[in-house]
Structure 1
Amino acid sequence: MKAVIQRVAHASVIVDEQVIGAIDQGFLVLLGVGTEDTKEDVDRIVKKMAGLRIFADAEGKTNLSLKDVGGSVLVISQFTLYADCRKGNRPNFLQAAAPAMAEKLYEYFVETCRSYIPHVETGSFGAHMQVKLLNDGPFTIILE
């Protein structure tokens, strides 16, 4: 499992010219599910993500967590995080989970996030999406 976590001032996702999810301060999470991933991987990554202290405190030090600042999360499925570009110019996605498995773990990831974070928004699994964000920092972390 790969989670690209971007600290954002705000973010939204659009499908068919309609905003289907939007947050203010928090994390935009691009989530890729691999063929070997399990619910235990989800539990570990969500717990780590929820505890990340990457928001500024009163002294400007990155010392506060998402919960400390009342932040939100926008989760977007992104199988392309498993692109293998080592050979040729056309990426292969053999390490990405099959859609049925990936969707189940994506939904479990969202549910698990909601047990830690009150406001969680999502994209639409498998849809063509447009994601807008204002990266704050920029601050981007990859959890695997």
Structure 2
Amino acid sequence: MENHKDTLDRWLSLSDGYFSVQHKLEQALEEQYQLSLKEFYTLYFICNAEDKKLRLQQLQEMIGLSQSATSRLVVRMEAKSCGALERHTCEDDKRGIYTRITELGENKLQRALITFNELLQQEIEPEQFIQLQHIFKKRNHK
């Protein structure tokens, strides 16, 4: 029974640490760049996609939101006040919609990435990064 308690305690510690860092990232991105963490991830995933564009369905799966929530997020980021994304209709399938990062969106992402990485380096020790990489490698090989 002790082994189960140790495992649960480690999990709770990891989970608590994750949510603490996530909250700090969210707060820093919102204060400095008016970006939520989901919006930051959206810019990051699109910027790293082929031709710097993704279908909304692909984006939805990557950021873990429903179809309607993803659509609302993209519409907000396309709005004149933000202008980080632009929408395009798929040439092969007129029902398909792509969203592409704009130059303004790329610039915002590059500045936000600096803050994101600095905060992660402050909050997570190098050994913890190595442990997390090991955990995720094991998970992805199953």
Choose between structure 1 and 2: higher strand proportion. 1
Asked if Structure 1 and Structure 2 have the same fold, meaning a TM-score greater than 0.5 normalized by the shorter chain, the answer is: no
Q: Which structure is richer in relative contact order (CA contacts within 8 A, separation 6 or more)?
A: 1
Larger radius of gyration: 2
TM-score by length of 2: 0.30
